[in-house]
Amino acid sequence: MDLGLQYKVYVVTGATRGLGLASARELVADGARVVLSGRSKESVDAAVAELGGPEHAHGVVADNADPAAAGRLVEAARQTFGRLDGVLISVGGPAAGPVVLAEDEAWRSAFESVFLGALRLARTAAGVLGEGGVIAFVLSSSVRQPIPGLGISNGLRPGLAMAAKSLADELGPRGIRVLGLLPGRIATDRLRELDGLSGDAEAARARANATIPLGRYGTPEEFGRVAAFLLSPAASYLTGVMVPVDGGALRAL
């Protein structure tokens, strides 16, 4: 199936590793161009090179928590590739730990990057996107059920999902779609770090696999293909939805 991504332009944040990079890779493979962001010049340059160089990708060193980042990213897309068709807003997860031990500053820091930074980019993109544009948030399965040991994420992700649902209502009349992706246990560096916090990463993975109907962790590539489809014109009648990419782990409808 042709996804209709040829020469489309997307901003992808947090795209130097993990789910963001996997999504950017799939977009470029189907003919799109991407403006990607990361926190260090070295990682950004490496990601641009991996995606085929400046003909296919442009890198911006930016932190989602920086109030200026949203404007810089949107402007980079328009200046470099002449257009903007959508954004995929991905950011590294907040610090692990239970709610009862999370200090105020940990909440503030996570709110700035995970929540407010994401909404700022969505709002900025909405100001320039036309009919057919799309705003997608990389959230978490914690939108629907809490993940043990990730108290801050459990607190912020559901609120961001509801904000995305509100945006879908607000922007729908302009032909702009808004949706969320809910990754479950996808084999990224972040998940390996979280498994390692248990003291026995292999045992933690075995326990998790036992709760997943498909019996295994997903791959970043599997997530990236779903993201590319949802961002593409092939998904033109999907908006306001939260799409799990979790091997069936979520038990609710």
Q: What residues make up the domain containing 109?
A: 9-244
Grouping H, G, I as helix, E, B as strand and the rest as coil, residue 251 is coil
Whether the pTM exceeds 0.75: the reply is yes
Q: Are 10 and 73 in contact (CB under 8 A)?
A: no
Q: DSSP letters along 182-200, please?
A: EE-SB-SHHHHHHHHTTS-
Q: Does 1 map to a domain?
A: no
Tokens in use for 160?
């961001």
List all residues 6 or more positions away from 183 whose beta carbon is below 8 Å from its beta carbon: 19, 138, 139, 140, 141, 218, 223, 245, 246
* 85: in domain: yes
How many domains does the chain fold into?
Answer: 1
Task: Tell me the CATH number at 99.
Answer: 3.40.50.720
Kindly tell me if the per-residue pLDDT of 95 is higher than 90. no
User: Given this model, what pLDDT does residue 91 score?
Assistant: 81
**Helix or strand or coil: residue 101?**
helix
Say what the pLDDT of residue 92 is.
76
Strands of the chain (E only): list them.
9-12, 33-38, 57-61, 86-89, 134-138, 177-183, 242-245
Distance linking the first and last C-alpha atoms of the chain: 28
| Predicted confidence (pLDDT) per residue in 30-51, tens digit | 999 999 999 999 999 999 999 9
Q: Has residue 199 got a pLDDT over 90?
A: no
pLDDT in tens, 204-241: 899 999 999 999 999 999 999 999 999 999 999 999 99
